[in-house]
C-alpha cells in the first residue's frame, strides 16, 4: 500500500488553493503515492461561514485596511490563542472531519492555518494517525499558523525558520522549503521581440486595476502589455473598452491556465505581492512592480522582494507608468532584477515539502499548553526561548531511535510526567496505561502520551535542553 495524501486548503483568495494544486501535481511524480485528494475546507462548510472568511476579508482589506493591519499584528504572536477551536468553527469543521475520516489519509498537508488548527486537534485526540505538515504561503511567518501538534512545519524562507527555532521550535521539525508553485514553463521571451508587461488586474481589483491599466497606456517604452483579469468578467469588459484603441499593443485575458507560460514570456510583472503570485514570479525569474498590497502579509512579502532586489514598489497609481519607463530605460537594471528573482525562486518547493513529510519522522511534535505560554513569553520579551529561566524554561523530549524531538514542554512539567509515566535521570518513559489509569492522568498528559505513542505501548525518551 502506498501513501494516501490529503491536501487541505481554504479558499480565502486563490493562493492557498494554488499551493494545494502544486502539491497535488508534485504527488504525481512520486511512485510511493497511491492516491491524492485536495479538499477546500470552506467548500464543505456553511455558506455564511464561507462568505464571512473569504469575501469578508477582502471587503475589510478594501474598505478599512488599517483594521486588517491591526488584526494581522495582534494575531502575529505565536500561541496567543490557546485551547480548542471556537464552537462555531468546530461546527463548520464537522463536514471536513468526516471527509478526513472517510479518506483515511496516511499524510495530511495543510496550506491554510484553519485546517492546520483542525488537524492538530485531531492528532491530540488520537483521532488521526497520519503524518501532518503545515505549509505557509507567504514569505513572512505569521503567528496564526503555529499549532500545538504537527510532524513537519515548512516556511518560505530561511529567516522564518530562524525565527521559529529561536522561539523554541526544534530545528529538526522546521524547514525553509519555499512556497509550492506549479511547474515552471520552458517558454522564454523571443530574441529581439518587444518586452511584454504582464499586468495582474484581477488581483488589484476594481478601480485601482483600471488606474494601473491607464498608466500602462501612458508608457513611452516600446513594449506590449498583457492584462489578466481572472474571473472578474466585469473588469475584463471595462479593460477591453479602455484599451480598444490600442489592440496592437494590448491583449486582455480573463481566467487562463496559461499563466506559467506567460510568466516565462514576460519581462516584468505588475500586480499585488500575494504569496503565490510572488513565488510564481520568482520561480520563473520574473521581476515585479508591486502595487496596492494588502496590509500585513502582502506588505511584508513586498519588503522581502525589495530586499532581494527582485522588485520595485509603486505607492501611488499615478506614478506607475513613469516608474516602469525609468526601470526599462536604465541599462542592465532589468537583467539584474531578473537574476535576483531567479536566485530567490524555489521552483521545487512542492517536491521538497513532500520529501520532508513522507520521508520524515513518524511521530508528531507536541507542544504542551505550558510550553506554548513560554513560547509566547519569549516572543513578547523579544528573547530566545533557550534564554528563558525559572518556571518558563523549556526542554525537549527526544526519541533516541530517530533522534527527533517529540515534545516541547516546560522543565517544571518533568517531575509530574516522570511520576505518572516512569523514567529517571535524563529519561522519561511514556507508556500506554489501562483505561482506568489513563483516566487518572491530567488531560494534558493524556494528549501528550496518546498522540506521541500512536500504536506503541511505550517509548523511552531523553530530556535535552533547547539548542542555543
Q: Which helix (H) or strand (E) holds 178?
A: none
Task: Please give the residue that has the higher pLDDT: either 294 or 150.
Answer: 150
Decide if pLDDT at 89 tops 90.
Answer: no
pTM exceeds 0.85, yes or no: yes
Cα torsion 62, 65, 71, 77 to 10°: value is 120
Euclidean distance between CA atoms 137 and 64, whole angstroms = 23
Q: Identify the residue whose cell numbers are 492557498.
A: 16
Confidence of residue 394 (pLDDT cuts 50, 70, 90): very high
Instruction: Among 230-244, 361-375, 426-440, name the one with the lowest average pLDDT.
Output: 426-440
| Average pLDDT over every residue of 256-265 | 89
Contact 246, 224 (CB under 8 A): no
Assess whether 152 and 11 both reside in one domain.
yes
In this prediction, residue 407 carries a pLDDT of 93
Query: Which grid coordinates belong to 329?
Result: 530605460
Assess whether 21 and 116 both reside in one domain.
yes
The DSSP secondary structure of 244-308, one letter per residue, reads: GGGTTTEEEESS-S-HHHHHHH-SEEEE---HHHHHHHHHTT--EEEESPPTTHHHHHHHHHHHH
Assess whether 9 and 155 both reside in one domain.
yes
In this prediction, residue 160 carries a pLDDT of 95
In this prediction, residue 438 carries a pLDDT of 47
Percent of the chain residues past pLDDT 70, beyond the cut: 94
3-state SS assignment for residue 319 = helix
The CA–CA distances, whole Å, from 6 to 40, 97, 112, 311, 367 equal 11, 12, 13, 35, 23
Assess whether 312 and 372 both reside in one domain.
no
State the CATH number of the domain containing residue 105.
Answer: 3.40.50.2000
In this prediction, residue 60 carries a pLDDT of 79
Query: Which grid coordinates belong to 350?
Result: 512542492
235 occurs within a structural domain = yes
310 occurs within a structural domain = yes
186 occurs within a structural domain = no
Smallest Cα–Cα separation from 234: which of 254, 219, 249?
254
Angle, nearest 10°, between helix axes 275-283 and 15-27? 50
191 occurs within a structural domain = no
Assess whether 383 and 338 both reside in one domain.
no
Burial of 78 (0-12, 13-18, 19+ CB in 10 A): buried
189 occurs within a structural domain = no
In this prediction, residue 201 carries a pLDDT of 83
Euclidean distance between CA atoms 333 and 324, whole angstroms = 11
Contact 36, 8 (CB under 8 A): no
Question: pLDDT tens digit string along 404-437?
Answer: 999 999 998 888 787 777 777 788 888 876 554 4
Question: pLDDT tens digit string along 446-459?
Answer: 778 778 888 888 88
Percent of the chain residues past pLDDT 90, beyond the cut: 57
Instruction: Among 116-125, 149-158, 181-190, 216-225, name the one with the lowest average pLDDT.
Output: 181-190
Confidence of residue 133 (pLDDT cuts 50, 70, 90): very high
Q: What is the mean pLDDT of the chain?
A: 88
Query: Which grid coordinates belong to 58?
Result: 477582502
Assess whether 152 and 228 both reside in one domain.
no
Euclidean distance between CA atoms 164 and 379, whole angstroms = 10
In this prediction, residue 187 carries a pLDDT of 62
Assess whether 97 and 158 both reside in one domain.
yes
In this prediction, residue 455 carries a pLDDT of 80
Assess whether 312 and 410 both reside in one domain.
no
Euclidean distance between CA atoms 42 and 95, whole angstroms = 10
Euclidean distance between CA atoms 134 and 155, whole angstroms = 8
Query: Which one of 17-31, 67-81, 178-192 scores highest in mean pLDDT?
Result: 17-31
58 occurs within a structural domain = yes
In this prediction, residue 199 carries a pLDDT of 92
Count up the domains in the chain and report the number: 3
The DSSP secondary structure of 393-424, one letter per residue, reads: -EEEEEETTTTEEEEEEEGGGHHHHHHHH---
Assess whether 169 and 310 both reside in one domain.
no
Query: Which grid coordinates belong to 308?
Result: 532581494
Task: Please give the residue that has the higher pLDDT: either 4 or 295.
Answer: 4
Contacts of 139 by beta carbon, 8 Å cutoff, 6+ apart: 156, 157, 160, 179, 275, 278, 279, 300, 301, 304, 305
CB atoms within 10 A of CB 198: 23
Instruction: Among 54-58, 344-348, 364-368, 394-398, name the one with the lowest average pLDDT.
Output: 54-58
Assess whether 148 and 294 both reside in one domain.
no
Question: pLDDT tens digit string along 246-258?
Answer: 888 999 998 888 8
3-state SS assignment for residue 366 = strand
Q: Where in the sequence is the domain holding 379, given as residue range(s)? A: 364-468
Confidence of residue 191 (pLDDT cuts 50, 70, 90): low
Question: pLDDT tens digit string along 330-351?
Answer: 999 999 999 999 999 999 999 9
Amino acid at each position: 500500500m502506498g501513501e494516501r495524501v490529503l491536501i487541505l486548503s481554504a479558499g480565502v483568495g486563490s493562493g492557498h488553493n494554488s499551493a494545494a494544486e502544486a502539491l497535488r501535481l508534485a504527488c504525481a511524480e512520486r511512485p510511493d503515492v497511491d492516491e491524492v485528494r485536495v479538499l477546500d475546507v470552506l467548500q464543505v462548510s456553511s455558506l455564511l461561514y464561507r462568505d464571512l472568511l473569504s469575501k469578508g476579508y477582502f471587503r475589510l482589506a478594501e474598505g478599512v485596511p488599517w483594521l486588517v493591519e491591526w488584526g494581522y499584528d495582534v494575531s502575529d504572536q505565536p500561541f496567543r490563542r490557546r485551547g480548542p477551536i471556537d464552537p462555531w468553527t468546530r461546527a463548520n469543521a464537522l463536514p471536513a472531519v468526516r471527509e478526513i475520516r472517510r479518506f483515511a489519509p496516511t499524510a495530511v498537508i495543510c496550506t491554510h492555518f484553519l485546517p492546520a488548527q483542525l488537524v492538530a486537534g485531531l492528532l491530540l485526540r488520537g483521532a488521526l494517525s497520519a503524518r501532518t505538515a503545515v505549509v505557509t504561503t507567504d514569505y513572512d511567518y505569521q503567528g496564526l499558523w503555529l499549532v500545538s501538534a504537527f510532524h513537519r512545519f515548512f516556511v518560505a524562507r530561511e529567516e522564518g525558520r530562524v525565527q521559529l527555532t529561536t522561539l523554541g521550535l526544534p530545528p529538526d521539525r522546521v524547514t525553509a522549503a519555499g512556497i509550492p508553485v506549479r511547474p515552471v514553463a520552458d517558454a522564454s521571451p523571443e530574441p529581439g521581440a518587444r518586452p511584454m508587461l504582464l499586468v495582474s488586474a484581477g488581483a488589484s481589483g476594481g478601480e485601482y486595476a483600471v488606474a494601473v491599466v491607464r498608466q500602462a497606456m501612458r508608457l513611452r517604452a516600446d513594449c506590449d502589455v498583457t492584462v489578466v483579469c481572472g474571473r472578474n468578467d466585469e473588469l475584463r469588459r471595462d479593460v477591453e473598452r479602455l484599451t480598444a484603441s490600442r489592440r496592437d499593443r494590448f491583449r486582455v485575458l480573463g481566467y487562463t491556465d496559461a499563466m506559467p507560460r506567460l510568466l516565462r514570456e514576460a519581462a516584468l510583472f505588475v500586480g499585488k505581492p500575494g504569496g503565490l503570485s510572488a513565488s510564481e514570479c520568482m520561480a520563473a525569474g520574473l521581476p515585479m512592480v508591486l502595487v496596492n498590497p494588502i496590509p500585513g502579509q502582502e506588505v511584508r512579502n513586498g519588503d522581502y522582494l525589495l530586499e532581494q532586489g527582485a522588485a520595485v514598489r509603486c505607492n501611488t497609481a499615478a506614478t506607475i507608468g513613469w516608474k516602469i519607463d525609468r526601470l526599462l530605460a536604465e541599462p542592465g537594471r532589468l537583467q539584474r532584477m531578473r537574476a535576483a528573482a531567479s536566485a530567490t525562486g524555489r521552483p521545487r518547493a512542492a517536491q521538497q515539502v513532500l520529501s520532508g513529510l513522507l520521508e520524515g519522522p513518524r511521530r508528531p511534535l507536541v507542544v504542551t499548553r505550558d510550553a506554548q505560554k513560554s513560547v509566547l513569553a519569549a516572543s513578547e520579551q523579544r528573547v530566545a526561548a533557550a534564554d528563558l529561566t525559572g518556571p518558563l524554561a523549556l526542554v525537549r523530549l527526544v526519541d533516541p531511535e530517530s533522534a527527533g524531538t517529540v515534545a516541547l514542554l516546560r522543565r517544571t512539567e518533568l517531575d509530574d510526567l516522570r511520576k505518572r509515566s516512569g523514567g529517571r535521570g535524563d529519561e522519561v518513559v511514556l507508556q500506554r496505561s489501562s483505561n482506568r489509569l489513563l483516566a487518572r492522568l491530567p488531560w494534558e498528559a493524556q494528549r501528550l502520551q496518546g498522540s506521541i505513542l500512536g500504536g506503541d505501548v511505550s517509548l523511552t525518551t531523553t530530556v535535552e535542553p533547547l539548542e542555543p
